[in-house]
Structure 1
Amino acid sequence: MFVLVNLKTYPCDAVSVAQAAADVAADTDARIAVAPQAADLRPVAETGVETWAQHVSPHDHGSHTGSTLAATVADAGATGTLLNHSEHRLKLADVDGGLRAAEDTGLETIVCANNPRQIAAAATLGPDMVAVEPPELIGSGTPVSRADPDIVREAVAAADEVNPPVPVLCGAGISTGDDVEAAADLGAEGVLLASGVAKADDPESVLRDLVSSV
């Protein structure tokens, strides 16, 4: 079970959260990664935690003001990147371009999608993983595995139909170890979460609970 913590632009101490994640991963052998803002990639990676970018652009070096290059992200210590998060939607061509840019620099990839139909489209592009996240449940504290478990089951089936090797992650509302266990029971091979850790008074305690059933 893969646990990816997206720090978004929450006003948390990214390095402290990363250190907590690194400690929990070392103690439990769980796979935990942290996705900070681009400016925090290097100090987060220096904690030793698995580090992911929140986004990379479908560009190479050149006249692309405001873009986040995959090569720069990799140089900062990231080993993977999210693409097409519901808060940073992309056109299909840009998702594909971002995947190619990531692959060229050796970054792992997760393409996010809202529903099983979009999961199928994302899986055909050949990412390393896909994540189903109904946007109305993001940050709600109500996990999709409880609010609408069929979305997770159908997303797993949709990915399996078009590209069986691509694992499905479950996002939106994940905050406890019970949520992680429920996601696994529905066929998900990982979870994507944010506020449950980034806004927690004690991120390490939350992380230990999250992986307690792994």
Structure 2
Amino acid sequence: MTNNINYPFFVFNPKSYLYGEDLLLIAKRADELAMKYPECSILVTVPYTDISAVKNATKKIIVTAQHMDGIKPGRGVGHVLPEAVYHAGARAVFLNHAERPLTISDLGKSMKRAKEFGIQTIVCADSIDEARAVAIMGADVILCEPTELIGTGKTSDDSYIQQTNQAIKAINENILVMQAAGISTADDVYRTIKLGADGTGCTSGITTADSPIDMLTDMVDALVRAYKERG
């Protein structure tokens, strides 16, 4: 199975809301949806301690680490070793998230090490200028997400989505663009994909839903529908 991320794609990032059996339950549903819609990619970001369990329990989703340091085997207590992340089963990684920001130097090191293993890099960018810089650095996916909108339920406006899409594609049309700020409903997913994003994702909109599994399903269905209608 290829580890490349196809579009449209959806990312479920449970952060630290879920772990263990509760996380496995949703990961398995995500895997069913990935098999139902083989034309798209579904990624689940997983706490380090659950990477192996989720990988072993699924077949089609891309298991994704929530962070990774640009270190090599040796010293580094409390750091996240790329070799260990890969060995555990992760094939993609989030970098520079607002909750785990990196300096440009450290980001470059982590991206370099990820490429050594063929781990797909999903790099977060707060502004259009930051998105351009990350595009030049060669990210596989850029998550364009104004920090102030994270977890608010308020999505990025149309102009921000369209401008960041255009700015990134102008530098490298092969970089995938993810827009996910404030996504909390299936309608948000539909709108974001219709506006031209390659993918989107959600955290609290799923984890705090009355039925997280139903919300995940509705969001992935909306993603596929919007992409087909976009043509």
TM-score by length of 2: 0.86
CA distance in 2, matches of 1:27, 1:163: 30
Q: Does 1:9 align with 2:16?
A: yes
Q: In the alignment, which of 49, 57, 61 is matched to residue 39 of structure 1?
A: 49
CA distance in 2, matches of 1:39, 1:164: 35
The Cα offsets for residues 20-58 of structure 1, whole Å up to 9 and x where unpaired, read as: 211222233342111011111111112213200001101
- 1:14 alignment partner AA: L
Matched position secondary structure for 1:3: strand
Pick closer, same or farther for the CA change 1:151–1:106 going to 2, 3 Å.
same
Q: How many residues align?
A: 211
Q: Unaligned 5+ residue runs, structure 1?
A: none
Q: In the alignment, which of 179, 183, 207 is matched to residue 170 of structure 1?
A: 179
Alignment of 1:152-167 (within 5 A): 152-167=161-176
Alignment of 1:174-193 (within 5 A): 174-193=183-202
Q: Does 1:25 align with 2:34?
A: yes
Q: Does 1:65 align with 2:77?
A: yes
- 2:202 alignment partner AA: L
- CA positional deviation for 1:185: 2.1
The Cα offsets for residues 156-190 of structure 1, whole Å up to 9 and x where unpaired, read as: 11112222221110012112222122112222100
The Cα offsets for residues 174-207 of structure 1, whole Å up to 9 and x where unpaired, read as: 1222212211222210013211123333222112
Matched position secondary structure for 2:72: coil
- 2:194 alignment partner AA: D
Contact 1:129–1:166 (CA under 8 A) maintained in structure 2: yes
TM-score by length of 1: 0.93
Q: Unaligned 5+ residue runs, structure 2?
A: 1-7, 225-231
CA distance in 2, matches of 1:76, 1:10: 21
- CA positional deviation for 1:14: 1.6
Alignment of 1:1-214 (within 5 A): 1-11=8-18, 13-29=22-38, 30-48=40-58, 49-144=61-156, 148-213=157-222, 214=224
Question: Pairwise CA RMSD of aligned residues?
Answer: 1.4
Deviates more, 1:81-90 or 1:169-178: 169-178
CA distance in 2, matches of 1:73, 1:182: 34
- 2:154 alignment partner AA: T
